[in-house]
Amino acid sequence: MTTTILKTQDLSIKFGGVTAVDCVNIEAHDNELIGLIGPNGAGKTTLFNLLTGVYQPTHGTVSLFNGEKLAQVNHVSAYKRAQLGIARTFQNIRLFKTRTVIENVLIAMTNQTAAKTIHAIFRTPSFYQHEAKKRQHAMALLDIFNMAHVADELASNLPYGQQRRLEIVRALATNPKILFLDEPAAGMNPQETAALTALIKQIQQQFQLTIILIEHDMNLVMTVSQRVYVLEYGKILATGTPTEIQQNPAVIKAYLGDDML
């Protein structure tokens, strides 16, 4: 049985005269991997911003699974949505470049696992136990991404591909139910992209997550996604399995080109 974890109804946002997202109805299920594709300017990142609480819609609703029912979260801030289990990465890398790799992960975990203030102020044994557990968890996550050996490096010293992977580790460190990845393979070389493709599949299975990803690398999207939404001029043009999308004449015409036939 599939359980809906996220749903939108007629979700729309206008910027002046531009309707960047236009009456979008999408749904994501528990433990589903969804690809979101479309040409530049189609509204993909804006849709992510609406789903994660960066923007509030001009019209329509975003609902998230909350306990036993879907609750409308239109007016719930990005910060609060993170506490409800929403995590994301950004197209442009947003690491603390002057902090070490593990510090970047620990900072991301702070919201979830903050030690009681009193223990933190007085540095009680309970505080140190708490910190040790956080560190262990952070190291375990880095290990999955084959980055444990660079834990004490400055984030700015990492090669580009590893910085992008660290962004995903940071998002995972918040213990999300839904992970939004905005062009995770952007700027990666083919080897890095291939490794990331395997990793995305692995983390979805290992962490039992719903993942929604925007990606221009068609090979990556079609390999990892169970379902794909295609956005065009802010509207959903098509949805289906990767095979259905690759065979959809409107999608082929608009986005994929003859080389996908």
Q: Out of 15, 116, 133, 253, name the contact with ligand ATP by CB under 6 A.
A: 15
Q: Is 78 in the site for ligand ATP (CB under 6 A)?
A: no
Residues 43-72 contacting ligand ATP, CB under 6 A: 43-46
Whole-angstrom distance, CA of residue 222 vs CA of residue 228:
8
- Burial class of residue 127, CB neighbours in 10 A (0-12, 13-18, 19+): middle
- Which region, judged by CB under 6 A, interacts with ligand ATP, from 1-9, 34-42, 145-153, 241-249? 34-42
Q: Out of 40, 98, 117, 191, name the contact with ligand ATP by CB under 6 A.
A: 40
234's tokens: 């802010």
Nearer to ligand ATP, 42 or 251 (CB): 42
Place of tokens 């379902």: 227
The residues pairing with 37 across neighbouring beta strands, listed in sequence order, are 230
Whole-angstrom distance, CA of residue 36 vs CA of residue 229:
5
Q: Which residues contact 52 (CB under 8 A, 6 or more apart)?
A: 78, 81, 86, 88, 180
Q: Is 92 in the site for ligand ATP (CB under 6 A)?
A: no
If we measure between CA atoms, which residue out of 12, 84, 51 comes closest to residue 182?
51
- Which region, judged by CB under 6 A, interacts with ligand ATP, from 33-41, 79-87, 194-202, 221-229? 33-41
Whole-angstrom distance, CA of residue 73 vs CA of residue 53:
8
Nearer to ligand ATP, 38 or 85 (CB): 38
Asked whether the beta carbons of 209 and 177 are under 8 A apart, the reply is yes
Q: Site size for ligand ATP, by CB under 6 A?
A: 11
Instruction: Supply angle C-alpha 37, 232, 63, rounded to 5.
Output: 75
Q: Is 38 in the site for ligand ATP (CB under 6 A)?
A: yes
Closest distance of CB 44 from ligand ATP, Å: 4
Closest distance of CB 18 from ligand ATP, Å: 5
- Which region, judged by CB under 6 A, interacts with ligand ATP, from 22-30, 40-48, 122-130, 146-154? 40-48
Could you list the residues that contact ligand ATP (CB under 6 A)? 15, 18, 20, 38, 40-46
